[in-house]
Amino acid sequence: MRVDIEDGKYTYVFHEDGRSEALRYGEPWRDTVGDKFIYCMAAEIVDLREEVGRLYFLSQYPPLYEELRAVIDGGSESMDHEQAVQEVKDLQAANESLKFERDLWKEKCARGIETIQKLEAERDDADRRAGAAERMACRRVEEGRARESWLRKAKEQWGVDQNVSFDVCWSQALLIRDCLKHLVDDAKLTSSQYELCRQALRGE
């Protein structure tokens, strides 16, 4: 569907694949995909213009009737009987052609509306998925920040530089645990002695 207004300054184009756009002086101006309001207005303009054409066509019947009447009465100088019959056939054919084109445009408009509705549904679904993905990304960022904060605090409490890998801290912690376990098992230390050993091993 293509609708020109203001002597062709603006043009609305609805493509068969469901895309639509507005042109200004024949150049791309606005993307109107999914704008059902503009589409319905354009379709209405097409229907009204077709109706104007049909009414103009019907307005030609009264003079034709008078001409045919003159032919029947034998008083026409511009048209004989065969010409009158042919004129009627041409008018009937033109009327059928207009009706066919109108029905065809209605069918295309119906398909266009269906396509727009599908595109709108796909757009809404994409918006929902994008929103869910954005929320998940924000949650992962917060989780990453919480992990970094915990690691920073753990290294501070362990007494090492922030550039030291946490794997090193964890290895030291496991080593201290094993040493204390052996000391406790071998020496049967009391809880106070155990604490003193732990502090000594950590250099406190």
**Alpha helical stretches, state H, 31-80:** 36-59, 61-73
* Residue 76, pLDDT score: 54
| Count of Cβ atoms closer than 10 Å to residue 49 Cβ | 11
Model confidence pLDDT, tens digit, residues 28-75: 888 888 787 888 888 888 888 887 776 666 666 666 656 666 665 555
Residue 90 pLDDT grade (very low, low, confident, very high; cuts 50, 70, 90) = confident
46 vs 176: CA distance, rounded Å:
86
Residue partners of 183: CB distance under 8 A and separation at least 6: 189, 194, 197
Q: What residues does each domain of the chain span? A: 34-162, 165-204
Are 35 and 142 contacting, i.e. CB atoms less than 8 angstroms apart? no
Mean pLDDT, range 96-116, rounded to an integer: 75
Are 24 and 9 contacting, i.e. CB atoms less than 8 angstroms apart? yes
Mean pLDDT, range 84-110, rounded to an integer: 72
The position carrying tokens 């004129």 is 87
46 vs 51: CA distance, rounded Å:
9
Bridge partners of 18, per DSSP, are none
Are 35 and 12 contacting, i.e. CB atoms less than 8 angstroms apart? no
Is the pLDDT reported for residue 88 higher than 80? no
Strand, helix or coil at 32? coil
Q: What pTM value is reported for the model?
A: 0.34
Are 199 and 191 contacting, i.e. CB atoms less than 8 angstroms apart? no
